[in-house]
Amino acid sequence: MKLRSLKLSFDRILLIITVCFSANTLSLSLDSDLLIFNADIYTANNKNPKADSLVVNDGYIVYVGNYLDAHHYVGKSTKLIDLEGKTVLPGFIDSHTHLSMGARLIKGIDLYNMNSISDWQSTILENIPKFKDSEWLFGARWDHTLTSNGELPTVSDLDELKINKPIALRDIDGHSMWINTKAYKRLVNEYPIEKLQSEGVIYNEDGTFSGILKERAMELVDELDDYQNSLAVSNKDIQRTLSFTNSLGITGMHDMPDEHTLRDLKQLAKENKLYSRILFGSIIDCRESDCIEEHLRRGSLYKHSNRNEFLLSPYFIKLFIDGVLSTHTAAMQEEYSDKDNHFGELLYLPLEIGEIVKKSNDAGIPVAVHAIGDAAVKVTLDVFEKYGSREITNRIEHAEIIDERDLVRFKKLNVALSMHPNHGTGVIGKYISERIGAKREKNAYVWNSAIKEDAQLMLGSDWPTAPLSPMIQIADAIFRVGPFETNDRPWYPNQKLSFYDALVAYTLTPAKVSGVDKYIGSLEKGKYADFVILNKTLNTFDRKEFLATNVMSTFFFGKEIYSANN
């Protein structure tokens, strides 16, 4: 250790001497804005994967490499930062976020990680003062699989709180909603009972309302004006939410904002206050409207760049072909192991979704399809094969269970995978074995198999259904240990990712798939200076050490936009 310290001290002295000399030798100096040196840099560039020096000028990276060569880029006004071995990573690009939902969650009631209905009830009561008299009570992230009996909550569980206003709470997956009688009466007043029964409103055997809405039934609540007015978030709410993403090292997102959020994002961009590059998808009911025309309208209206720097850009159309495993609505090829003769359901017929894919791809628009069960994944691949364009990189979101015979098709069809590590680790020791059984477990959350088949694997959070932190998500990908495991034993360790593969899947691949890797995704000369400094040298072999490592600074276009010290 002493020899290493002496060498580092000598190298620093040499650098200072060299920099001083260079500052007086302007013919050799480019007088850049910033030099970071003595760092542990992962570039996500396989031609130059590691470095210890990074130089930034005018928002762009001008050099990545050995710090002894960095003096060619240093002048009198260059700021020097000695990181003393701390790790630097490219800015994270989350491949699947819901900013609008996240902002509402911050404003509403968060039931995350609570394991009893009584805890949910207490939290609801505690949050009543946050809401105006005219507003619905709203929130999200209850998880019935954490409770002692694993059963869904009931309308009585809400009604007994005696709250004289409508209540609507989405579950952790965002595919079920728990409402009280007052909210149900709003639906009855607005829609025929036949529509409620056909759209996924769940009734008890005696015909009484259960308290649960599934899948399309939730859209009936979403369409109520008074509910939407209650959900409305301010520009400041969006700005606070974005600041939270920056604090975790996120500088880019594939997001699915509603139009209100798009307006706020555009305004922030015009005011030079948007410190994230957002490629936005449109969630549109293509049965009810021309989703291609609507997406193009949004793209034309909200696209925004500053100088040569893109900030807001239209990306894909988002569709849902099935539900989720937790409520047995994900479409499976074989019946659920814990529910006889039940296979889940497809929300679109193949022909229906095929026509949308063809029209979208013909217009140059990628399609992203939510497909969780192996039947849903297979049908979606079939649709892309028959109707999609190989020139367009379409996507499958989640793909939690994949028939191993379908893995090779992703590369062949130029279909990218957007997967979410915490969705996998979050069900280890919980309900996954019950739902699909031991035989199919090997086909669950097959991250490494996707890499081996040369699929374009992107990682993301699906926030707010799971933790937003890329460090948590990457830890889940490389260690594959669930929160209910006490011995750090990995679940199907053959599906763990290397740190490098996980990093690339959280940075470069999302940039490539969305066609912006010329600008972002890796630390290379000529790209935007979007990067993250961690608070110490990253240990990629020890899970506890890894999870104890935090973001110290986030830089966006060469500017520090987050500091843990401020």
- How do residues 285-344 score in pLDDT, each as one tens digit? 887 778 899 999 999 999 999 877 899 999 999 999 999 999 999 999 999 999 999 999
**Residue 393: pLDDT band with limits 50, 70, 90:** very high
The domain tally of the chain equals 3
Q: pLDDT class for 481, splitting at 50, 70, 90?
A: very high
> In angstroms, rounded to a whole number, what is the distance separating the alpha carbons of residues 226 and 230?
6
* CB 274 within 8 Å of CB 268: yes
Residue 299 has which token pair?
A: 């793209």
Q: For residues 380 and 445, state if they share a domain.
A: yes
- Residue 488 domain-assigned? yes
Q: Which of 231, 254, 275 is the last residue of a domain?
A: 231
Q: Do 31 and 129 reside in the same domain of the chain?
A: no
Same domain, 346 and 492: yes
The CATH number covering residue 416 comes to 3.20.20.140
110-119, 419-428, 493-502: which is most confident: 493-502
Residue where a domain terminates, one of 165, 196, 231:
231
146 versus 444: the higher-pLDDT residue is: 444
- Shared domain for 7 and 117, answered yes or no, is no
Mean pLDDT for the chain? 92
Domain final residue, candidates 509, 525, 541? 509
Residues 44 and 169 in one domain: no
| Same domain assignment for residues 365 and 441 | yes
DSSP 8-state class, residue 423:
H
Q: Is residue 408 part of a domain?
A: yes
Please tell me whether residues 58 and 131 are part of one structural domain: no
* Residue 395 and residue 486 in one domain: yes
Helices (DSSP H) in 76-215: which residue ranges? 99-107, 117-127, 155-159, 181-190, 193-199
pLDDT in tens, 418-434: 999 999 998 887 889 99
In angstroms, the CA 384 to CA 378 distance is 10
Instruction: Supply the CATH number for residue 175's domain.
Output: 3.10.310.70
The boundaries of the domain holding residue 23 are 2-91+555-563
Whether the pLDDT of residue 56 is over 60: the answer is yes
Q: Is the pLDDT of residue 28 over 50?
A: no
In a domain, 537, yes or no: no
Does the pLDDT at position 5 exceed 60? Answer: no
The answer as to whether 114 is a domain residue is yes
pLDDT band for 29, please (50, 70, 90 cuts).
low
Q: Are 66 and 115 within one domain?
A: no
Which residues are CB-contacts of 4 (< 8 A; sequence separation ≥ 6)?
Answer: none
Residue 281's φ and ψ, nearest 5 degrees, are -100, 160
Cis peptide bond N-terminal to 464, omega within 30 = yes
The answer on 113 and 86 residing in a single domain is: no
Q: What is the pLDDT of residue 25?
A: 38
Q: Are 370 and 325 in contact (CB under 8 A)?
A: no
Residues 334 and 414 in one domain: yes
The CATH number for 25's domain is: 2.30.40.10
Q: For residue 82, is it within any domain?
A: yes
Contact (Cβ atoms closer than 8 angstroms) between residue 310 and residue 360: no
Select from 471, 445, 448 the least CA-distant residue to 533.
471
What six digits make up the tokens of 259?
Answer: 């139009």
Instruction: Look at residue 211 and give its three-state secondary structure.
Output: strand
Tokens for 532? 């993250």
**What does the block give as tokens for 212?**
């649960």
Query: What's the pLDDT band for 485 if we cut at 50, 70, 90?
Result: low
Q: Is residue 416 part of a domain?
A: yes
| Integer Cα distance of 80 and 82 in angstroms | 7
Domain shared by 385 and 475, yes or no: yes
Question: Range with the lowest mean pLDDT among 44-53, 78-87, 104-113, 376-385?
Answer: 104-113
Q: What is the mean pLDDT of residues 246-267?
A: 97
The kind and range of the H/E element at 203 are strand 201-203
